[in-house]
């Protein structure tokens, strides 16, 4: 399917790393390394405490300030929670929902992931909906069924006309933070299947417009091969996004793939 119908996105997921005073030196270094040509969108999904600092620093740059999670609730007595309205008021662009670490440690379910995605869309931002199988599921050949189920469960909360604003990130759990990457062919197979699921649900036009990212130990060395795959429209990057030089090389890989 033709990639021209969708955005290429390189999104860094800092997780619970760096303190606010490290945001400026990090971002200034990254800015000097960013290619001048805009071959892709660049997002940094930072802890809530870093958002306003990042926003101030990146004001006139191409970096999109983004977040790692959101509450399912709109407002009120939910101690410790951050609402979609709060994020949108702070200029947040993308919000990760359903990261496997949030599913594993914070009790996110397919039910809450769909609700979070809808909350993000309702406030004019875009969710990056994470899906992916465990090693056991892969070994039992359950990957496609499980990932298809996760995608459909999340999208069942989204009105049809909002689906094109969603981004899906295929992140095999066994590849996150482990240094093990899915081969480009393995990643492509699942991403293609995700697009098929969207096509069967919402039609070809919708499916060709939704960006599907790969995440799981993507780095400067393997990015180009993964990003060359026809259904991989970018990356969600954890560890390698914490090093400006490494992260910018992944962005350079997009230019190499597109020839710009
Ligand atoms: C992630 O946390 O989304 C991720 C892909 O991490 P890593 O790149 O470190 O595997």
Structure tokens at 75: 């407002």
Tally of CB atoms within 10 A around 168: 26
Which run of H or of E encompasses 127? strand 126-131
Instruction: Output the residue whose Cα is nearest ligand 1's atom 7.
Output: 238
Instruction: Output the residue whose Cα is nearest ligand 1's atom 2.
Output: 238
pTM score, two decimals? 0.97
Per-residue pLDDT of 11-48, as tens digits, reads: 999 999 999 999 999 999 999 998 776 889 999 999 99
Average pLDDT over the chain, rounded to an integer: 95
Where residue 1 falls among pLDDT bands split at 50, 70, 90?
Answer: low
What is 184-229 written as a DSSP string?
HHHHHHHHHHHHHHHHHHH-HHHHHHSEEEEESS--TTTHHHHHTS
The residues annotated with a catalytic role in the active site are 99, 171
Measured from the CB, is residue 180 less than 6 Å from ligand 1?
Answer: no
Per-residue pLDDT of 103-155, as tens digits, reads: 999 999 999 999 999 999 999 999 999 999 999 999 999 999 999 999 999 99
**168 in Cβ contact with 233 (< 8 Å):** no
Distance 219 CA to ligand 1 centre (A): 10
Measured from the CB, is residue 173 less than 6 Å from ligand 1?
Answer: no
Nearest to 57 by CA among 22, 96, 101, 8: 22
Backbone angles phi, psi at 45, to 5 degrees: -95, 105
Burial of 172 (0-12, 13-18, 19+ CB in 10 A): buried
Distance 159 CA to ligand 1 centre (A): 29
What percentage of the chain carries pLDDT values higher than 90? 91
Nearest ligand 1 atom to the CA of 235 is: 5
Buried-state track 223-232, b at ≥16 Cβ within 10 A, e below 16: bbbbbebebb
Measured from the CB, is residue 110 less than 6 Å from ligand 1?
Answer: no
Distance 239 CA to ligand 1 centre (A): 6
Measured from the CB, is residue 239 less than 6 Å from ligand 1?
Answer: yes
Nearest ligand 1 atom to the CA of 219 is: 8
């Amino acid at each position: 399917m033709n990639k021209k119908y969708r955005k290429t996105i390189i999104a860094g997921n800092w997780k619970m790393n760096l303190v606010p005073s490290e945001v400026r030196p990090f971002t200034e270094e990254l800015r000097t390394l960013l290619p001048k040509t805009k071959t892709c969108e660049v997002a940094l999904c930072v802890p809530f405490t870093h958002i306003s600092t990042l926003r101030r620093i990146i004001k006139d740059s191409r970096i999109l300030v983004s977040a790692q999670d959101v509450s399912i609730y709109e407002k009120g007595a939910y101690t410790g929670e951050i609402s979609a309205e709060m994020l949108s008021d702070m200029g947040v662009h993308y919000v990760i929902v359903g990261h496997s670490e949030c599913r594993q440690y914070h009790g996110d379910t397919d039910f809450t992931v769909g609700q979070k995605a809808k909350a993000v869309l309702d406030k004019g931002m875009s969710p990056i909906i994470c899906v992916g199988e465990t090693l056991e599921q892969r070994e039992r050949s359950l990957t496609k069924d499980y990932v298809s189920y996760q995608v459909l469960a999340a999208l069942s909360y989204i009105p049809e006309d909002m689906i094109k604003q969603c981004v899906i990130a295929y992140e095999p759990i066994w590849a996150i933070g482990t240094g093990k990457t899915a081969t480009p062919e393995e990643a492509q197979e699942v991403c293609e299947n995700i697009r098929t699921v969207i096509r069967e649900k919402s039609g070809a036009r919708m499916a060709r417009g939704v960006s599907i990212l790969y995440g799981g130990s993507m780095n400067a060395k393997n990015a180009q091969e993964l990003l060359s795959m026809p259904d991989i429209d970018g990356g969600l990057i954890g560890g390698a996004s914490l090093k400006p030089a490494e992260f910018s090389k992944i962005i350079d890989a997009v230019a190499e793939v597109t020839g710009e």
